[in-house]
Structure 1
Amino acid sequence: MLEKDLFEKLNVDHVRQLMAYLPLLEQARPELAKLMAAKPEKTAKFFESGLAWGGLYDLTIVEHLTVFSDIAGLNDFLVHAAASPDPHGEMMKLDDHPDFQEWNGGTDGQYEIQHLLGVLYSLIGTLDSLMLYGFYLNELLAKARDNSDDEALFNAIRVDPLAITSDTAAHRIARASVQADALFFSQLQNAIKGKSGKQARYLKKFKLFMQLLLEQGLLGRPNFELRALALELGTYAEDANAEKNLNELIRKFRKKKTTQ
């Protein structure tokens, strides 16, 4: 599997570097919104037919990344990186890739700019979900679909209202409509407002950090190492209770991921 091959060789130093990209992720949407407001004549093409991404959340995270790779025109680059002795080192050369410097319509030039914008926003959404709730947005919809978990659906919509256009959400809303489920629609309305708990937002950077460790097989490291790394990277504020609180958060995260 491409994603597994690409990242299986990451170590703690690589996690440090990946966490450094978090500020860029958080700045992407507001900066693009400012650009569109300042130069509407140059960004009008973004809003042509095809600007939609809710359906991407119905995919698994690997399928989602595959779509991104195709639209971004990075298939050959990622295959080459995965096959190299140092996949992470190769990924750091992405800045030199022609399609990274100037997008050319993706694989075979078959996509329009609004498709690229949509898949980029969807990736930001699913990573934001990971930071807020400890699950990719794709996973939240899977929980809603497979386990009839309405709270997972509402959390997905809180992160990105476009999740309401997914097949999973459409099916659940249709069922609620047929059943005249007033409580469901009241909860749905609250979810669309996008309000997440303060604790969820406070811990979002820490949750992303823990997920990276999990996916790279590093979550089994001793607690003192994980605590030190969390504090070093600023994923948790250092205070008198940091050691106790981090131990408890690490314990809960490990338990949550082993009982999914």
Structure 2
Amino acid sequence: MSTTDTRPADALRAGDRQADERASAAKPLGGIAGWVDDRVGAAKGVSFLAKKVFPDHWSFMLGEIAMYSMIVCLLTGAFLTFWFVPSASQVVYDGSYVPLQGVTMSDAYRSTLGISFDIRGGLLIRQIHHWAALIFVVSVFVHMARVFFTGAFRKPREINWVFGTILSMLACIEGFAGYSLPDDLLSGTGIRAMNGFVQSVPVIGSYMSYFIFGGAFPGEAIIPRLYSAHVLLIPAILVGLFTAHILLVFVHKHTQF
């Protein structure tokens, strides 16, 4: 038998040993994968995902940007909830920010200052949460613009278009509730504007305002109510709609243009 490999025998044996080492190193991973597949049948799902075709146009990444920015919002928001106090009760500030020491303010604003100046990394997390929220809202609307102008909302994807529309509106409401929580000047301006919009509704406007604020404006009930909506209610709906949106993308596949 002849061979065209001109390497010395020692080099060939060394190459065989390296191949054996790589094979033995891969066996534990393969064994674990086989163990999992025998019990949950994961290989079929992994094979399906590996064959999924993703368009190469940059605009299709807008949905991914929205998804990951939402995840960042959820993680940073969970961090902030450990120290934020959703209360409009009046307290005297005694924190480390000297210009406001001795000033009477709401407990929500006092806890916001505490996160910014007294919690290690608190201000950084607030800024990450803020910018991730902005990126989320912008990416959702630009993503919807791509879908609209390419006609990707048409049959059979019209349900997903409705989901996206609801997501975009909920994102705006979530953002409003979020920036109203610190109870600072910007928050008060936004809440006051909202109260004006509500009161402008014919016939029932004043009753709606009284119901939302738990009495006369501004009251002490609006901060806890916005907190419940911002932290629990709206995020749960957003995550549910986003999950349904992704599942429908898997069913219908991506559009091509």
TM-score, structure 2 normalization: 0.26
Largest Rg, 1 or 2? 2
**More RCO (CA 8 Å, sep 6+):** 1
